[in-house]
Each structure stands twice: as C-alpha cells, then as structure tokens.
Copies of this chain bind each other. A is one copy, B any other.
Amino acid sequence: MKKNIADIARIAGVAKSTVSRYLNGGSVSEATRRKIEQVIKDTGYIPNTFAQSLKAKKTSMIGAIVPRLDSFASSQTVTGMDEELRELGYQLLIINTGQDLGREIEALHDLARQKISGIVLFATQVTEKHLTAIREINVPVMLLGQQHNEVHSFVYNDYMAGYEVGRYVLSMGHRKIAYLGVTERDVAVGVQRKEGFRKALAECADPNVMVSFYESGFKMSEAVSAASAVLGSSKPSVIVCATDNIALGVMKAASMRRLRIPEDLSVTGFGGYDVTEIIHPGLTTVKYNYAESGHLAAKHIVKLVNDQQVEPLTVLGYQFIERESVDKK
C-alpha cells in the first residue's frame, strides 16, 4: 500500500506540515524528528516528485541538450557532467537532437516546461532563434563549445590551439600545406581553429609557404571524399584537419591511394579522441579534456541555478600531442 504524507503524519501523530518540514530540513524538535524518522523508515515512504515539483515549481534536474550522443566528445563530456551533478545532488536529463538545430529550440522549451532548473546546451551554432528561446524560457542556460556575450559560455581555446598546430607544422619544415576545415557556421571549429592557424602562417617569414583551404563535412565518410579531392588537385606535404574525425578520413583516403603516412603525407587533427592513440601511426593532434569540462560545466550550471556569481565566459585549455603522423621535411 502506497503511503502519502498524510499517512505518515497520522501514524506519527503530527501534522502534514510538520512532516513536510522534517523532509525539507525545517526546524523540528528532536522528539518529533525521531518519531517521523522511524515511521518513514517503517513504511518505506517516498515523497511524490510531482507533487513536490508542482508546489515548489522547480526540480533538481539539469538538462543537457546534445546534438549527438554517439560522438567521443559528447559522450565524454556528458559522462563528466553526470558524475559531477550526482555529487551535487542533481540529476542529469539528456536530450539528443540528432544534429537538428530546430530540435534544439524545441528541447529548450520542453525542458523549461518540465521545470528543469538549468540547461547546458552543447552548441554548434547559436542562431537568433536560439537566443530568442533562451530569453523566453527564463531558465539559466549555459553554452558549451560556442560563445555568445548574452549567455554564459564555456569554450575551448580553439584559436590558440590552431595557432600552435600551425607553428608546429611550419617548424617541421612543411611549406606546401592544405587545411581541411568545416563550415564557418560552427564558429569554434570552423572559424577559430582556422584563424589561429592563419595567424601562425602570417607570422612565418618564408615566402615559399603555400596554403590552400578546403572544406569537409564532419563525418569521416565525408572527409574521405574531401581528402580525395584535395589529394587530386594539389600535392600538399601535410593536411591539417579541423577535427580528428576528418584526420581519420584523410588517413583512410591516403591508405586507399597507397600513400604512406607520414613519409608521403603528414596529417594532424584536433580533438584527442582515444582512437588517435591506437592507430598506427599515432595521430598528432590537440587534446581537449572533455570529461573535465563536463565536471566544470556541471559546477557552473549549478552555481547559476542557485544565483551564485559565475564568470560569463570560461575558456578551457588544451594539450598539444605530438605523435608520429607528421614528418620532418
């Protein structure tokens, strides 16, 4: 037989409000406290979440809106967030949007409607519609992966990472360089990394440097075709890729053309996916600590939810990892 707060109150011989106070840490005398405690233990009473939320008008849930769950970066980040939120007494509700921007807007509203306390949006693009939704819902929102001055943001230092990769490639003696990027609508991945890379080039005095820029989709299969185009049109000594996935596609395309890496073609990536370490040769790349970012993001959103001060922009570090995929020229 399912018990409610009235049952507990009756059995314990107190009022419902007293039980409620006990449950929510209000002031209750030691004697009553013990009585109620006992009854709750005996009956196995569990408060009804809906009734609580209906009155309290909030929950201790944090929502994560994720474009895709089946990516290394997302799943690592979500796992990190989940661990931290559990520590902090919150539950994570994950919404998968299948890379559909429209569904991100829907998700924002859905979560607000469910009285979620806060939302972390794994952003790829921040459109006007996103901003409108964020303003409307009146729930703290944090952007992860992109930044906007109106919204609390968490980004990786993609610009510096791009710069470092550029410097490295040049220092290894490469002069005929191809950059295989992604759409500029993704500011972090499509613009920042490329601009940082460009800066390194601009600083290089050597007049022999030749760079061509190409664009690929995010999927490995798309990268394979993009790489084939690059290799067909020019003969770069290195292809700098905007993501590890793209780099993997390039390596695949190279092996299909019987090009050896790094002897015939050097490759670099961004991301630091586990795979990049397993494959042979190991991929030189920039590693982001996704799990840690997840933890941090969780801490921040909880602060926001509790009206604590949080810096509007957090820039996360990275680690440049040199492996075997780039040859010295």
When chains A and B are docked, how far (Å) is the Cα of A275 from the Cα of B244? Answer: 12
- Name, among A70, A83, A92, A95, the residue most crowded by chain B CB atoms within 10 Å (CB to CB): A70
A82→B96 contact, CB < 8 A? yes
> Which A residues contact B (CB, under 8 angstroms)?
46, 48-51, 53-54, 68-72, 75-76, 78-79, 82-83, 91-96, 98, 110, 113-115, 220, 248, 251-252, 255, 274-275, 278-280
How many copies of the polypeptide does the oligomer hold?
2
Residues of B within 8 A of A248 (CB): 278
Contacts A49-B115, A70-B76, A92-B96 supplied; 6 other A-B pairs, CB < 8 Å? A48-B54, A50-B54, A91-B110, A93-B94, A275-B275, A278-B279
Min distance, Cβ A78 to any Cβ of chain B, angstroms: 6
Min distance, Cβ A193 to any Cβ of chain B, angstroms: 22
A78→B82 contact, CB < 8 A? no
Residues of B within 8 A of A275 (CB): 275, 278
- Name, among A50, A91, A96, the residue most crowded by chain B CB atoms within 10 Å (CB to CB): A50
Residues of B within 8 A of A69 (CB): 69, 75, 78-79, 82
Min distance, Cβ A265 to any Cβ of chain B, angstroms: 14
Min distance, Cβ A228 to any Cβ of chain B, angstroms: 16
Q: Which of B83, B95, B220 contacts A98 (CB 8 A)?
A: B83
Residues of B within 8 A of A51 (CB): 50, 54
Residues of B within 8 A of A54 (CB): 48, 50-51, 54
When chains A and B are docked, how far (Å) is the Cα of A51 from the Cα of B68? Answer: 31
Min distance, Cβ A260 to any Cβ of chain B, angstroms: 11
Given A50-B53, A115-B49, decide whether A280 and B278 contact each other with a Cβ distance below 8 A.
Answer: no
Given A278-B275, A279-B280, A280-B280, decide whether A113 and B46 contact each other with a Cβ distance below 8 A.
Answer: yes
A75→B79 contact, CB < 8 A? no
Given A69-B82, A93-B93, A94-B94, decide whether A114 and B280 contact each other with a Cβ distance below 8 A.
Answer: no
Q: Which residue of B lies closest to A110 (CB)?
A: B91
Min distance, Cβ A297 to any Cβ of chain B, angstroms: 15
Min distance, Cβ A11 to any Cβ of chain B, angstroms: 20
When chains A and B are docked, how far (Å) is the Cα of A79 from the Cα of B98? Answer: 8
The 7 closest A-B pairs by CB, nearest first: A70-B75, A50-B54, A50-B53, A50-B50, A82-B96, A94-B94, A69-B75
Task: List 11 A–B pairs whose Cβ atoms lie within 8 Å, in order of A's numbering.
Answer: A49-B114, A69-B82, A70-B72, A70-B78, A70-B79, A78-B96, A79-B96, A220-B274, A255-B280, A278-B279, A279-B279
When chains A and B are docked, how far (Å) is the Cα of A92 from the Cα of B64? Answer: 12
